[in-house]
Homo-oligomer: A and B are copies of this chain.
Amino acid sequence: MKNVIKSMLLVVMICLAGKMMAAEPIVLNSPNGKLRMTFRLSQNGEPTYQLEYKGKTVIRPSHLGLELKDVHDLQRGFTIKKSTISTFDETWQPVWGETRKIRNHYNEVFVELSQESEERGLNIRFRLYDDGLGFRYEFPLSKNLNYFVIKEEHSQFAMSGDNTAWWIPADYDTQEYNYTESKLSEIREKLPHAYDNNASQTIAGPTCVQTSLQMKTPDGIYLNLHEAALVDYSCMHLNLDDKNMVFESFLTPDARGDKGYLQAPCKSPWRTIIVSDDARDMLSSNLILNLNDPCKLKDTSWIHPVKYVGVWWEMINGMSQWSYTWDLPSVKLDAIDYTKVKPHGKHGANNENVRKYIDFAAANGFDQVLVEGWNIGWEDWFGHEKDDVFDFVTPYPDFDIKALNEYAHSKGVKLLMHHETSGSVRNYERHMEAAYDLMNKYGYDAVKSGYVGNILPRGEHHYGQWMVNHYLYAVKEAAKHHIMVNAHEAVRPTGLCRTYPNLIGNEAARGTEYEAGAGNNVNHTTILPFTRLQGGPMDYTPGIFEMDMSKMNPQNHSHVNSTLARQLALYVTMYSPLQMAADLVENYRKHMAAFQFIKDVAVDWDDSRYLEAEPGQYITVARKAKNSDKWFVGCTAGEKGHVSKLHLDFLDKGRQYVATIYADAKDADYRKNPQAYVISKKTVTARSVLTLRAAAGGGYAISIMPK
């Protein structure tokens, strides 16, 4: 982001007349005029906004404000002191991303409110883009607003009707649920059945859902509610008043039930509303990235996309283990000499196995090899809320950290570090410097971190301010060591990767790992880009070729709900600068022709075109690889399958390309015949139109190379 290009910067300052009448509205239009936001104070001085799209109401009049602890609320009794309208337009360049350049163009109104009885102010900043609205609270330092504790944030989003929603239950500790598609009015009834068990979970309430929340109005307008730039604040959830169809924010509590500790001057994260009548616009929106601060890292030359394989899926499906021995029901790290214990012989992170993955990575052009379970402590790492659970620096006896890194480097490959914290974050922070130093010493430059289980300090939640603060601390400290972070079980992303582009990945949703257990809904990957991916890339770990887990572990009868062709498509539909080919080397070796797509596909892009999209049904996207003329297309489909008629008009005019199409075979079916695929090649141009069929739970992938 060092090459930010300010193509245009027009700031029009219009200071409206001093104090305004409550009834006098402030109107803000988006640059193209299709969105209109109206702000006013209600009779009792309550801040209220509404939003229209092409003349239709998408957010009915909704109140804004906060409830504080031990003092009067910041909800009513306001007068408008001043409001300032301005315009901003710049084009900036992300370090990595879906497009080479991103335009950040909005009209803004900054409303300065005064609560005179309390001798303090509250400001609200609205930014209206062509693709949606962002607003945030700003807390000016005042006589009676300095240090304060938030009891609750009450930001409303009043829906225009009984929308269809793709939602997961609000939970303070996990997002790893399948999505439920329902009317808003059905949430209460469906919520008790909308989740399964998780290592740490705290369901918030009967009508409470998480963001990013994707909706569609009865008249076909798509609406997405989320937040941007979640920094030093608790993560927001939404509670639905299902009589009036009004969502209201609530925050993740801390151990005492408080919602946030703030020090003025400060600001809340942005609350975001992405709006369009074309579902594809939801996916191409950069509103959330644009609402984040520009890159704060001076040097980003060490940040790069990563395509990787790893010693991981074999533990997930139960073939091998993270642990080294069965003999230690209770581990105290300092007290055990692992060279003296009896190995169980199922330890995945052993020298031989890791070398096999290094060889495979090197032979097939992968950047890195993830190895989980390399460090001591996995015998009792989970479920005990154990404080000193890992030291992050001591390998098991059969993992020669020096030799393996040297071997990898000799083949042009790096190892990818793994730091599972087991939720014990004081322990992680105490060891963090030594852990990052170790990475620097052996030449690791990326870490997958994990926060499985309940948080220590006990009583804190994964999504509270305490942990939000920790996750960013880990990313900032990593940056000092030129280390990229891929945090799992952390808070869902909110576009912070713009500001800290070494945050190259997150989990924060139900990933492929569940396919080796309870399973993912067949349409899961047609929803995630509308929801979870709004905030930033996901380390979804696609690329499973063997859908039948019992082939690897006879005790495991899980089945991956996808065709093989769709697994290829996910490298394009699930945008991420960090992509894993998650399956075993042995499974890839049986399908090297299909694997060619994973070898070829890029992980960083000059351009992205969303060609078709409907949440829960299908997504088709074409992307142009960075600094290249190669294009890649992916389509993922749900239960009904999908037929595409693709116009390749994004290709250079007059140029010939070779398209290699990896498609479901005619008899493909995600349940019964997932490995049935057909690979075909044809010459295409910008005038070509391809008709392609995705099976139920299927999809297709296309590489398009200039001739």
Q: Which of A141, A263, A457, A460 has the most CB of B within 10 A?
A: A457
A258 CA / B430 CA spacing, docked (Å) = 24
Determine how close the nearest CB of chain B comes to the CB of A498; give it in whole angstroms. 20
0 or 1 for each of A429-450: is its CB under 8 Å from B? (1 = yes)? 1100100000000000000000
> Chain copies in the assembly?
2
* CB-based contact B426/A458 at 8 Å: no
0 or 1 for each of A446-467: is its CB under 8 Å from B? (1 = yes)? 0000000000011110000010
Partner of A426, one of B141, B380, B386, B426: B426
A147 CA / B384 CA spacing, docked (Å) = 6
Q: Is A5 an interface residue (CB 8 A)?
A: no
* Contacts A330-B141, A459-B459, A466-B457 given; does A147 touch B386 at CB 8 Å: yes
Determine how close the nearest CB of chain B comes to the CB of A500; give it in whole angstroms. 16
In the complex, which residue of chain B has the Cβ closest to the Cβ of A146? Answer: B330
* CB-based contact A263/B330 at 8 Å: yes
* CB-based contact B458/A256 at 8 Å: yes
* CB-based contact B459/A255 at 8 Å: yes
* CB-based contact B387/A469 at 8 Å: yes
Q: How large is the interface on A (under 10, 10 to 19, 20 to 34, 35 or more residues)?
A: 20 to 34
A265 CA / B459 CA spacing, docked (Å) = 25
Determine how close the nearest CB of chain B comes to the CB of A437; give it in whole angstroms. 11
* Contacts A254-B459, A429-B429, A457-B460 given; does A261 touch B330 at CB 8 Å: no
Q: Is A71 an interface residue (CB 8 A)?
A: no
Q: Is A8 an interface residue (CB 8 A)?
A: no
Q: Is A332 an interface residue (CB 8 A)?
A: yes
Determine how close the nearest CB of chain B comes to the CB of A263; give it in whole angstroms. 6
Q: Is A473 an interface residue (CB 8 A)?
A: yes
Contacts of A469 in B (CB 8 A): 387
Q: Is A264 an interface residue (CB 8 A)?
A: yes
A515 CA / B265 CA spacing, docked (Å) = 38
A380 CA / B264 CA spacing, docked (Å) = 12
* CB-based contact A261/B429 at 8 Å: no
Determine how close the nearest CB of chain B comes to the CB of A432; give it in whole angstroms. 9
Q: Is A654 an interface residue (CB 8 A)?
A: no
0 or 1 for each of A367-401: is its CB under 8 Å from B? (1 = yes)? 00000000000001000111100000000000000
Within 8 A of B (CB), among A93-122: none
Q: Is A329 an interface residue (CB 8 A)?
A: yes
* CB-based contact A141/B458 at 8 Å: no
0 or 1 for each of A465-508: is its CB under 8 Å from B? (1 = yes)? 01001000100000000000000000000000000000000000
Partner of A458, one of B146, B255, B433: B255
* CB-based contact B258/A458 at 8 Å: yes
* CB-based contact A146/B426 at 8 Å: no
Contacts of A466 in B (CB 8 A): 457
Within 8 A of B (CB), among A224-267: 254-256, 258, 261, 263-265
Contacts of A261 in B (CB 8 A): 385, 387, 458
A261 CA / B458 CA spacing, docked (Å) = 10
Partner of A329, one of B146, B332, B457: B146
* CB-based contact B332/A263 at 8 Å: yes
Contacts of A380 in B (CB 8 A): 146-147
In the complex, which residue of chain B has the Cβ closest to the Cβ of A469? Answer: B387
A675 CA / B426 CA spacing, docked (Å) = 51
Contacts of A256 in B (CB 8 A): 255, 458-459
**Could you write out 18 A-B pairs with CB less than 8 Å apart?**
A141-B329, A141-B330, A146-B380, A147-B380, A254-B459, A255-B458, A256-B459, A258-B458, A263-B332, A264-B330, A265-B330, A426-B426, A426-B429, A429-B430, A430-B473, A433-B433, A457-B459, A459-B459
Among all A-B residue pairs, the 3 with the closest Cβ atoms: A255-B255, A255-B459, A457-B457
Which residues of A are in contact with B by a Cβ distance under 8 Å?
A: 141, 146-147, 254-256, 258, 261, 263-265, 329-330, 332, 380, 384-387, 426, 429-430, 433, 457-460, 466, 469, 473
- Beyond A147-B385, A254-B458, A256-B459, 10 additional contacts (C-beta under 8 Å) are A141-B330, A255-B459, A255-B460, A261-B385, A263-B384, A264-B330, A265-B330, A426-B426, A433-B433, A457-B459
